[in-house]
Amino acid sequence: MRRRSFLAGCGAAAGMAAFEGSRPAAGAPGGEFRVLSGPRAQLLLEGKTPLQASQVVPHRSYVFLYPFESTPCFLLNLGRPVPGTQVGAEGGSAGYAWPGGVGRDRSIVAYSAICPHTYAHPTREAAMIHYYGPDTPATVAQRAGVITCCLHGSTFDPGRGAVPLQPPAEAPLAAVLTEWDELTDALYVRGVVGRPAFDEFFKSFPKNVRREVQEVTPVWELERYSRAVLSC
């Protein structure tokens, strides 16, 4: 019987239970924070072969599609263990438990690549939002190791549940719950937690089809997904 490492820590167990359905996270005012069950999908490198966690190069941006075939997400190896944390604790709200990184070193994290401010996202033509590694600081954010949206300068911390560091975005990027199979080194995704902007995304970009991914979903290096990667 295979053993799987699913988002190690207490937050992982909470995430597992949440897959029973879509519901507000505990303590979330008005149900703002939600755990959305989603299809369990394996990541395939460019849709061909199973992506292994050991293939995810530290500080390189990857894009995969989840939970819909037109909603892009980031896959990042931050190059260090990433502990879980409480996200969105504000105004007396308990927010939600973000379980942290997965993989042998617990360094791999995944987030929706849709900026919660005006829903900018990587497309096949261009990526205006992406991760800036430790050696490539974002100019508008004046820091490295962050995800920054060049449309309006919103910046997020991928090592702390993608909490916003710089306005105008006020909400974190929604986190994609990720699973690592320690026997095969394969990666799976199976849900979203936070404030997903999918409804707003499809209203803003009605040409995109709202069709769920199935058992597999492709993942690309960002430079192979978007023809132009714009930095700021």
Q: Which domains does the chain have, with CATH numbers?
A: 4-128+170-229 (2.102.10.10)
Q: What percentage of residues in the chain have a pLDDT greater than 90?
A: 76
- Which stretches within the chain are classed as H helix? 10-18, 198-204, 222-225
Asked if 145 and 133 touch (Cβ cutoff 8 Å), the reply is yes
Least confident of 6-15, 42-51, 187-196: 6-15
What are residue 63's DSSP bridge partners?
Answer: 74, 220
Q: Is residue 7 pLDDT above 90, yes or no? A: no
Q: Is residue 2 pLDDT above 50, yes or no? A: no
Q: Is residue 16 pLDDT above 90, yes or no? A: no
Q: What is the number of other CB atoms lying within 10 angstroms of the CB of residue 106?
A: 21
**CA–CA separation, 79 vs 116, rounded Å?**
26
Q: Is residue 14 pLDDT above 80, yes or no? A: no
Mean pLDDT of the chain: 86
Looking at residue 31, what is its pLDDT? Answer: 39
**CA–CA separation, 153 vs 222, rounded Å?**
19
The residues, any chain, with a CB within 8 Å of residue 178's CB and separated by 6 or more, are 7, 102, 108, 109, 110, 187, 188, 189, 190
Confidence band of 128 (pLDDT split at 50, 70, 90): very high
**CA–CA separation, 32 vs 51, rounded Å?**
33
Provide mean pLDDT across the span 141-147. 95
At residue 84, the 3 state secondary structure works out as: coil
Looking at residue 3, what is its pLDDT? Answer: 37
**CA–CA separation, 180 vs 12, rounded Å?**
12
Provide mean pLDDT across the span 32-48. 87
Phi-psi region of 153 (alpha: psi -120 to 50; beta: other; left: phi over 0): left
Q: Is residue 130 pLDDT above 50, yes or no? A: yes
- Condensed to tens digits (0 to 9), the pLDDT of residues 153-209 reads 999 999 999 999 999 998 999 999 999 999 999 999 999 999 889 999 999 999 998
At residue 29, the 3 state secondary structure works out as: helix
Looking at residue 134, what is its pLDDT? Answer: 95
Looking at residue 93, what is its pLDDT? Answer: 57
For strand 163-166 and strand 155-157, is the pairing parallel, antiparallel, or unpaired?
Answer: antiparallel
Q: DSSP letter at 167? A: S
Q: Is residue 4 pLDDT above 90, yes or no? A: no
Looking at residue 99, what is its pLDDT? Answer: 93
Provide mean pLDDT across the span 104-108. 97
